[in-house]
Structure 1
Amino acid sequence: MRNADASRERILEAAMAEFSAYGIAGARVDRIAKAAGCNKNLIYIYFENKETLFATLLKKHLLRVYEDIAFTPDDLPGYAARVFDFGMSRPDLMRLLAWFNLEQHNVVPPERGAAHGAKVEELAEAQRDGRIGGAFPPDFLMTAIMALATAWTAANPFGASLDAASTKDLAALRGAVSAAVGLLAQRDDASR
């Protein structure tokens, strides 16, 4: 069983490199098998097809994100900073997400939808309680936070691709993202 688990992990590692570089359509099972040091048929035994392999890989990494990056409406700037750090440290995963969005545009993995929905509900509750501002609807606010936090990652067509100098000082950039999110979520009475 340990050998099967090790083989499966090698396949997933090789698949991450392949899918993040070429997307689903451009990825080749032959190259994944060669990089993983296994027989191509083993990939089909474990994962059935290329699409299931991609979905397994995406789910594995997204679940880690949901579990590892603490979310609380009471510290949205801190959350944005943690997402920023994660995204900047994982260009392969950010490219994987970009490919997913390009090639599977109307398919939302259930875990991703549930995690997003739970965060939106927590934001709505925090707005009702007056802990954060209500200038923006909670679903818009969540999307804006994620967009700001990932704007300079490998997945974004703006950010670093238009202004390479912007990523020379990641601490300053992280601080600016955090401050911007703080302004978006500012309590309604904070400007008075």
Structure 2
Amino acid sequence: MATKSDETHPRPPRPRNSRATKAVLLAAATSEFAERGLAGARIDRIAERAGANKRLLYVYFGDKEALFEAVLRHEIGQLLKETPLTDGDLVAFAAARFDYMLAHPETARLAAWRRFEHAHWSETEIESYRTRVDAVAAAQRAGRLDDSLPAVDLFAVVLRITESWLDAPPALRAVAGTQPLSAERLDEHRAALLESVRRITAPRRSGPERDASGA
């Protein structure tokens, strides 16, 4: 007989090998941490979601904090894969990141929990940002991006812009007149954010070209 908990979190088919088991556990942990954060998550609930013995969580991942770090590493890997910063193109990056966060709300919620309750950072996270900042700096040196701001600050500004509407206060969203957000409003915001990134990151003209334009 199915229990109320079973109806809330249907158990997935039990995998037959360790790799599949780890994947199911990681997916269950991702959902639990996205909903409740590190402090509120419970190993028992994660095991129940996965339809597995909670002992396997400790065997494969260690304690709850180590499991949280494993979830973050996986999410960072997926995010890096789906939001490349090719040749320092911050406009294309902003578009890809907005689309990814919109399609993967669990990733956005994990990022928020990460900022609010997890004070230290991992080498994986540091390296993921370092490679992006280095790409921006290289594009600035090559003249493809505005170099009036330090690379790390320019990247930080663009990063926040990509989430400016998805992470906006509900009252501000209500000002737009649609709650929940309509597809039309999201399209309008996406176009606005990309135009903002273009204006912020475009190389500044100087010398005769700027004088001739009257700018």
Amino acid aligned to 1:49: D
Higher relative contact order (CA 8 A, sep 6+): 1
1:49-88 alignment, distance < 5 Å: 49-88=63-102
Q: Say yes or no: does 1:163 pair with 2:176.
A: no
- Quote the RMSD (CA, aligned, Å): 2.0
Contact 2:140 2:146 in 1 (8 A): yes
| Number of aligned residues | 188
| Helix, strand or coil at the partner of 1:151 | coil
Q: Say yes or no: does 1:144 pair with 2:160.
A: no
1:57-136 alignment, distance < 5 Å: 57-105=71-119, 107-136=120-149
Contact 1:152 1:160 in 2 (8 A): no
- The sequence identity of aligned pairs, in percent, is 31
2:35 to 4, 9, 21: 21
Contact 2:82 2:100 in 1 (8 A): no
Contact 1:151 1:159 in 2 (8 A): no
1:40 to 40, 43, 54: 54
Between the aligned partners of 1:142 and 1:128, the Cα distance in structure 2 is 15
Deviations 1:8-47 (A, max 9, x none): 1111111111100110110010111111101111111111
Stretch deviating more after TM superposition (71-80 or 7-16):
71-80
Deviations 1:57-77 (A, max 9, x none): 110110111122221355321
**Structure 1, gaps ≥5 residues long:** none
What TM-score does the superposition give when structure 2 sets the normalisation length? 0.80
Amino acid aligned to 2:172: L
Contact 1:63 1:111 in 2 (8 A): no
- How far did residue 141 of structure 1 move? 0.7
What TM-score does the superposition give when structure 1 sets the normalisation length? 0.89
Between the aligned partners of 1:74 and 1:100, the Cα distance in structure 2 is 26
1:165-184 alignment, distance < 5 Å: 165=178, 167-168=181-182, 169=184, 170-184=186-200
**Structure 2, gaps ≥5 residues long:** 1-14
